[in-house]
Structure 1
Amino acid sequence: MTEHTNNLDTVLPQHELLQDKSFIKKLNITDWLFAAALITIAVLVHIKMPHHMDIYETVILWISAIIAIGLGWFFKPMRWFIVGSVAVAYMAVGLYDGNIANGNENTGKFLLKYLLSSQSAIMWQAALTVLAAATYALGMLTAWRNEKKQPENILSSKNTFFSIASDLAWAAAFAGFVGLLVRWHESYLLRPDAGHIPVSNLYEVFILFMMITGLMYLYYEQKFTMHKLGVFVYSLMCVLVAFTLWYSIERGAHEIQPLIPALQSWWMKIHVPANFIGYGAFCTAAAFGVAELLTLRGSKFLPDAAQIEEAMYKAIAVGFLFFTIATILGALWAADAWGRYWSWDPKETWAFIVWLNYAIWLHMRLVAGWRGKVLAWWAVIGLFITAFAFIGVNMFLSGLHSYGSL
């Protein structure tokens, strides 16, 4: 019996997942230096801003640092993105030198006026997003022409436009994140006792929305090598840019306003970002859904439909996870603010509809085994359901969340 067991041990190979090293053992010196840099930044923030943080915000700071380290370990380009944006935002803080007038468009410092003030950085985000969309379109056109000329070499041909478009997409997300960080500081310069994280109105969350959507797409672009899908994602992003510019010009939404009492809570710092990670993922999935529909209609130019659907599924899975977390956090916030977890307020009702929509989508794919056109259309229609929950409720319905109206 023992001999037979030994023979089985030598014959049966170990599963490849069991052969892999643990995640921690795979980390190199660069990963640990990145972690040390972020811990150092968190310590400095903790030392320099104790008067702006209570115990809850201190916990949020350190959890955010841990999450940022995990992101940098999981998706390597995020390392320079996080450290670089914090460094540039800190440069802007130094240029302000405690005086908001240093960013004045007429008499302010040059770098703040044209590059590093929150509004300048956000305008750069808008411009770079449009440039990225245009360059992705040029990349698509170039790839199409190359395929027509040499269909047998299309996989090996290099497309410079796609590389430039990816760089522009990174730069747009970078500018948006810097803009939000600097805007946070500006709120304290304007009102030392009433500064707040910049996720308090539609203008600010749209900036966050564009940044998260861009970063999510860039991850899937690298993971699945699907640069051709950039034109679909960034076409949607251009719509977001247009709305943000309209909202800023027509409504003066770019002006920093004090928080209304309903939003003066540390819950906002975790509920809103989690919510918009979900929204960003759903937006990315809808763009992938459009691409899959074109592929299923016979297009040989785009990536394989199964590959696009896999990316779409992963995006929806991530979005559903974070939207679920955001919904739970929202319920806890409601209990803290209004004394009850759920009120069937229009915003809450439509949040539940969004959650149920994607829960059923995932169920039909994972349990019922659905694939193809139905799920692609579902992802596209799901974006309209999400958009109504995000904006439509604010425009057409009233309730406990009416402070977010247009």
Structure 2
Amino acid sequence: MNTAAYMDDVPQPLFRRLGWLDWGYALLLLLGAMFAFHRYADFMDAYEIGFLFGSVALFSWLGWFWKPMRWLMLAVAVLSLGAIQLYNGSQESVEQVFLLKYLFASQSAIMWMNVLFVLAMLAYWLGLFARSDFAARVGSTLVWSAVAMGFIGLMVRWYESYLISHDVGHIPISNLYEVFILFCLITALVYLYYEGRYATRQLGGFVLIVINAAVGFILWYTFDRQAYEIQPLVPALQSYWMKIHVPANFVGYGTFALAAMVAVAYLLVDKGMLVSRLPRLEVLDDLMYKSISVGFAFFTIATILGAMWAAEAWGGYWSWDPKETWALIVWLNYAAWLHLRLVKGLRGPILAWWALVGLLVTTFAFLGVNMFLSGLHSYGEL
């Protein structure tokens, strides 16, 4: 065997593959964190400072691992900080500054996110049925733009909460309105990663269906319930645990949703529909498995973090609260799915149907519990 040729085929460790652009990206993140610390340290506790600089390491790694992520991070950082400067320390600036009123104020940016996701879905479906690579590429561009506007909206909303009052200020992942936005963003980002990994855009229209279902909820919740208004946190949510438990949970929810929509495509191809337009069954099966594996890992972490949070807030790790019970049901559902695939070697439509039904179980755990059941987690009633 040619040892030199073999060594060329072995992937090098991540740090050995980094160039000056990679380190420059990390340095920019660090400088941004230092600027934020210098500017807003008075509004941050020790945990938030830790999260701020910990996020530098996390997003540096993400940018090294997945190159498009760095451009998203830089765009969100630059535009969010630029928008914050336009406020001049006053919420009244929203009505006085054109760019805030129509583009970068939190509510404006989130509305743009909603519009862009709808347009992206239409572009993806046009690309699928017309076999237009251009339309599909437009769909991808629109999704990236929607994600950027959504994150800008959340970052600016975070700042706006502190403009109301230091006591009101909080990270915007505390109620149904905010976490539905987070769900859209995480689901879209995970899809974009796999879109690049598998070099296929044919699944975009399917995944955007579930994202736009969430967009529909956001619009209804905004206009019917005025949910966009920033409210103070209830005491139990005034905890550093929220800042790590909620994002981990929604990586799980987002990847489970992605797996379910891939399952729809799998079932169509298995029935002989859109065979020439969609990826092969083997590709769809692999994507479904990887999505559920990632989601299960994050959902497990989120469940453990939630138990630790519960012990601090209520004095016990587990109380069989409806939200906890349904979280366990979701966990057991996907644990069984992975067991059947990995240990028993099961493949085919039954796992696709299982992943699709799993989305219904997850949706009830996420939303249905808030609608129909009450308990300690009753923070997001409709």
Report if TM-score (shorter chain) is over 0.5.
yes
Q: Over aligned residues, Cα RMSD in angstroms?
A: 1.5
Q: Which runs of 5+ in 1 are unaligned?
A: 1-9, 144-157
> Which of 320, 337, 342 is 1:366 aligned to?
342
1:192 pairs with 2:183: no
* Alpha-carbon distance, 1:235 to partner: 1.5
* Alpha-carbon distance, 1:18 to partner: 8.1
1:167 aligned residue = 141
2:282 aligned residue = 306
* Residue pairs, 1:6-405, within 5 angstroms: 19-104=10-95, 108-143=96-131, 159-299=133-273, 300-301=275-276, 302-405=278-381
Deviation string for 1:266-312 (max 9, x for gaps)? 11111111111111111111110000111111132211011011111
Provide the rounded CA distance (Å) in 1 between the counterparts of 2:183 and 2:13: 33
* Alpha-carbon distance, 1:226 to partner: 2.0
| Aligned residue type for 1:383 | L
Provide the rounded CA distance (Å) in 1 between the counterparts of 2:182 and 2:370: 18
Deviation string for 1:191-250 (max 9, x for gaps)? 123200001100000011101111111111111122110010011212111111001111
| Aligned residue type for 2:45 | D
* Alpha-carbon distance, 1:63 to partner: 1.7
Q: For residue 49 of structure 1, give the secondary structure of its aligned residue in structure 2.
A: helix
| Aligned residue type for 2:22 | D
**Alpha carbons of structure 1 residues 139 and 18: separation in structure 2 relative to 1, 3 Å:** closer
| Aligned residue type for 2:371 | M
Deviation string for 1:316-351 (max 9, x for gaps)? 111111111111111111011111111010000000
Provide the rounded CA distance (Å) in 1 between the counterparts of 2:9 and 2:196: 26
| Alpha carbons 2:80, 2:155 under 8 Å: kept | yes
* Alpha-carbon distance, 1:14 to partner: 8.8
TM-score (norm 2): 0.97
Provide the rounded CA distance (Å) in 2 between the counterparts of 1:12 and 1:29: 29
Deviation string for 1:128-181 (max 9, x for gaps)? 0000000001101211xxxxxxxxxxxxxx610011110001001111000000
Query: How many pairs are equivalent?
Result: 380
Q: For residue 379 of structure 2, give the secondary structure of its aligned residue in structure 1.
A: helix
| Alpha carbons 2:168, 2:231 under 8 Å: kept | no
Q: Which runs of 5+ in 2 are unaligned?
A: none
Provide the rounded CA distance (Å) in 2 between the counterparts of 1:21 and 1:229: 31
Q: For residue 134 of structure 1, give the secondary structure of its aligned residue in structure 2.
A: helix
1:149 aligned residue = none
Provide the rounded CA distance (Å) in 2 between the counterparts of 1:11 and 1:172: 48
| Aligned residue type for 2:115 | A
Q: For residue 357 of structure 1, give the secondary structure of its aligned residue in structure 2.
A: helix
Provide the rounded CA distance (Å) in 1 between the counterparts of 2:57 and 2:320: 35
**Relative to structure 2, which stretch is displaced further, 240-249 or 116-125?**
240-249
| Alpha carbons 2:168, 2:232 under 8 Å: kept | yes
* Alpha-carbon distance, 1:19 to partner: 3.3
Identity among equivalent positions (%) equals 53
Provide the rounded CA distance (Å) in 2 between the counterparts of 1:20 and 1:186: 45
| Aligned residue type for 1:117 | A
* Alpha-carbon distance, 1:16 to partner: 6.3
**Alpha carbons of structure 1 residues 404 and 28: separation in structure 2 relative to 1, 3 Å:** same
Provide the rounded CA distance (Å) in 1 between the counterparts of 2:98 and 2:242: 34
Provide the rounded CA distance (Å) in 1 between the counterparts of 2:2 and 2:176: 62
